[in-house]
């Protein structure tokens, strides 16, 4: 692996303040009605009931969706640029309401979108980050009726038209630090503390090379998943600007017979690494990465077709497989089963991405969609989601010692969470003398991040609590019971 020197270490010491925790429920008010509340019949499951369109400039080339402040957020753009971000009301998912159109010539196909709500200061507001033709771009989404690009940064050797070798394929936001997976360029670390002027902090290339397709940061742990590769990498990001290799952290993704298999893309659910098999068939492959020095096989299900993108929701896997999209019951990883599927005769297109969203899934066509039908709403479960999000994994881990003073707090949930409910109040960091620690909050898919605004103290035990009633899922279901753990920092 090769590094370029870091320009700046963001987490710096500061004078003691008078910070007090806000209430766990003191998130910004929702601007939309929230997630799906419609009940379906068995006959309606896995049948399209509505379509989402980005606007008059939409090329009908869609990928994932995400929640933000009560709306569904659809980033849309083809690999050759010209895209936007559109907000929808989906409380009745079969009658979605689009708020407004947006457009930017430099936005390109994105496989991830991160959010942060900055609660105070000159950058107070709502922000989202996606891919740029030559790097990354940050959108001001404070007004869902008029999302606009605030800032962008071009990254070295990132360019198009080769849509796999040199472009940014996805991003992960631990505001104010962002990680970008840039294919054969490796990964970039970006300072986004000023959303209008993001700048590169560091660059890491892999030797031997890895076509970096996805980055998934849980606290101090970064999973780098490949794009059409057979291996993946785990990095130590306890110093956020300086990712470090972990001995044993580069591993082959193999099937149940121990045969390494090419996969198209990956994802993370707590300490589970998820991979969408592509070589020699399709189907999910799952690894346990709780010990980053020895990732281990958990389960798989070989299938026909061709793998695309994969997501996790309350024990179920959602996987686009080009000529099909499937939902898998993976509550027993030793016996993964197909729950249902959609094929192009029902929804035409290259079915690469199916994103869980309550009791529906948003199935997107990567190409070859019908006009104005880039994404369709697919009911997959009868009843609306009324189950509280549950903690699957945390970083730093409970009882961990020697923790870096520049650590972030990561919480992996069992389903997508509402990013605006992640703040220093819904998740609390307390020093052993009772001092509350202020931090920035951000959320992406099922991962919540707190980034302390100053260095942690050396030789100090910190207790973290995910507060009852604080973090919610897309349907507004809040954490049902406070979850608490502790870790101890290293010396000076």
pLDDT tens-digit series, residues 435-456 = 999 999 999 999 999 999 999 9
Average pLDDT over the chain reads: 95
Closest CA to 77 of 101, 52, 49, 54: 54
Give the per-residue pLDDT at 2: 44
Residue 138: pLDDT over 90: yes
Say how far residue 13 (Cα) sits from the centre of its chain.
29
Enclosing H/E stretch for 178: strand 177-181
Residue 97 has phi, psi (to 5 degrees) of -115, 120
Using DSSP's 3-state secondary structure scheme, residue 248 falls into: strand
* Confidence category of residue 24, pLDDT binned at 50, 70, 90: very high
**pTM to 2 decimal places:** 0.96
CATH hierarchy code of domain 2-11+38-379:
2.130.10.10
DSSP track, 291-359: STTS-EEEEE--BSS----EEEETTEEEEE-BS-EEEEE-SSGGG-EEEEEE-TTTS-S-EEEEEEETT
How far apart are the two ends of the chain, measured CA to CA in Å?
Answer: 28
pLDDT tens-digit series, residues 164-191 = 899 999 999 999 999 999 999 999 999 9
CA-CA distance, 82 to 484, in Å (whole number)? 45
Give the per-residue pLDDT at 116: 98
Q: How many helices (H) and strands (E) does the chain have?
A: 0, 36
Residues of the chain with CATH 2.130.10.10: 2-11+38-379
pLDDT tens-digit series, residues 98-113 = 999 899 999 999 999 9
Mean pLDDT within 196-204: 98
* C-alpha dihedral sign at 90, 346, 363, 269: positive
* Confidence category of residue 474, pLDDT binned at 50, 70, 90: very high
Q: For 27, which DSSP code?
A: S
Q: Determine what percent of the chain is predicted with pLDDT higher than 90.
A: 93
* Confidence category of residue 92, pLDDT binned at 50, 70, 90: very high
CA-CA distance, 136 to 374, in Å (whole number)? 23
pLDDT tens-digit series, residues 140-171 = 999 999 999 999 999 999 998 877 899 999 99
CATH 2.60.40.3710 is the classification of domain 391-488: yes
* Confidence category of residue 55, pLDDT binned at 50, 70, 90: confident
Q: What does the buried/exposed string (b/e) look like for 167-188 if buried means 16 or more CB atoms within 10 Å of the residue's CB?
A: bbbbbbbbbbbbbbbbbbbbbb
pLDDT tens-digit series, residues 317-355 = 999 999 999 999 999 999 999 999 999 999 999 999 999
pLDDT tens-digit series, residues 362-381 = 999 988 999 999 999 999 99
Contact of 286 with 267, CB cutoff 8 Å: no
Residues of the chain with CATH 2.60.40.3710: 391-488
* Confidence category of residue 56, pLDDT binned at 50, 70, 90: confident
Closest CA to 270 of 288, 246, 247, 248: 288
CA-CA distance, 424 to 14, in Å (whole number)? 17
Contact of 57 with 86, CB cutoff 8 Å: no
Residue 6: pLDDT over 50: no
Residue 287: pLDDT over 80: yes
Residue 14: pLDDT over 60: no
CA-CA distance, 85 to 151, in Å (whole number)? 15
Residue 15: pLDDT over 70: no
CA-CA distance, 249 to 227, in Å (whole number)? 17
Tokens of 486: 């502790």
* Confidence category of residue 305, pLDDT binned at 50, 70, 90: confident
**Residue keyed to tokens 């893309």:** 265
Give the per-residue pLDDT at 17: 59
Residue 97: pLDDT over 90: yes
* C-alpha dihedral sign at 175, 178, 179, 182: positive
DSSP track, 206-255: -SS---EEEEEEETTEEEEEESSBSEEEEEE-SSTTS-EEEEEEEEE-B-
pLDDT tens-digit series, residues 218-237 = 999 999 999 999 999 999 99
């Amino acid at each position: 692996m090769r590094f370029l020197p870091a320009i700046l270490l963001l987490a710096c010491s500061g004078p003691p303040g008078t910070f007090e925790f806000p209430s766990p429920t003191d998130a910004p008010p929702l601007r939309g009605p929230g997630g799906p509340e419609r009940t379906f019949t068995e006959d309606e499951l896995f049948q399209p009931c509505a379509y989402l369109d980005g606007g008059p400039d939409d090329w009908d080339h869609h990928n994932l969706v995400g929640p933000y402040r009560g709306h569904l957020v659809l980033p849309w753009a083809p690999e050759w640029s010209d895209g936007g971000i559109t907000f929808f009301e989906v409380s009745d998912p079969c009658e979605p309401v689009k708020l407004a159109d947006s457009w930017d010539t430099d936005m390109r196909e994105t496989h991830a979108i991160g959010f942060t709500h900055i609660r105070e200061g000159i950058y107070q507001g709502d922000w989202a980050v996606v891919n740029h033709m030559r790097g990354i771009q940050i959108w001001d989404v404070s007004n869902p009726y008029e999302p606009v690009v605030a800032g962008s940064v071009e990254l070295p050797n990132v360019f198009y038209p080769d849509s796999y070798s040199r472009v940014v394929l996805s991003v992960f936001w631990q505001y104010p630090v962002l990680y970008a997976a840039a294919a054969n360029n490796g990964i970039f670390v970006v300072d986004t503390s000023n959303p209008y002027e993001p700048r590169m902090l560091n660059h890491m290339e892999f030797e031997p090379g890895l076509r970096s397709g996805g980055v998934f940061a849980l606290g101090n742990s970064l999973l780098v998943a490949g794009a059409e590769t057979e291996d993946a990498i785990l990095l130590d990001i306890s110093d956020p600007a300086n990712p470090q290799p972990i001995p044993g952290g580069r591993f082959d993704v193999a099937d149940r017979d121990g045969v390494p298999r090419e996969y198209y893309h990956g994802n993370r659910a707590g300490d589970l690494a998820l991979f969408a098999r592509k070589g020699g068939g399709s189907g999910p492959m799952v690894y346990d990465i709780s010990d980053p020095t020895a990732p281990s096989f958990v389960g798989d299900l070989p299938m026909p077709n061709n793998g695309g993108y994969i997501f996790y929701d309350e024990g179920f896997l959602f996987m686009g497989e080009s000529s099909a999209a499937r939902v898998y019951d993976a509550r027993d990883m030793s016996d993964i089963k197909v729950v249902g599927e959609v094929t192009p005769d029902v929804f035409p297109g290259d079915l690469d991405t199916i994103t869980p969203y309550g009791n529906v899934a948003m199935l997107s066509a990567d190409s070859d969609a019908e006009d104005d039908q880039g994404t369709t709403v697919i009911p997959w479960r009868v009843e609306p989601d009324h189950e509280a999000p549950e903690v699957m994994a945390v970083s730093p881990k409970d009882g961990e010692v020697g923790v870096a003073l520049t650590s972030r707090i990561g919480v992996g949930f069992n389903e997508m969470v509402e990013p605006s409910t992640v703040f220093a109040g819904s998740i609390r960091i307390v020093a052993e003398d009772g001092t509350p620690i202020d931090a920035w909050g951000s959320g992406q898919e099922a991962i919540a991040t707190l980034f302390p605004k100053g260095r942690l103290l050396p030789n100090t035990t910190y207790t973290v609590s995910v507060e009852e009633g604080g973090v919610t899922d897309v349907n507004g279901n809040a954490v049902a019971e406070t979850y608490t753990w502790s870790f101890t920092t290293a010396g000076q």
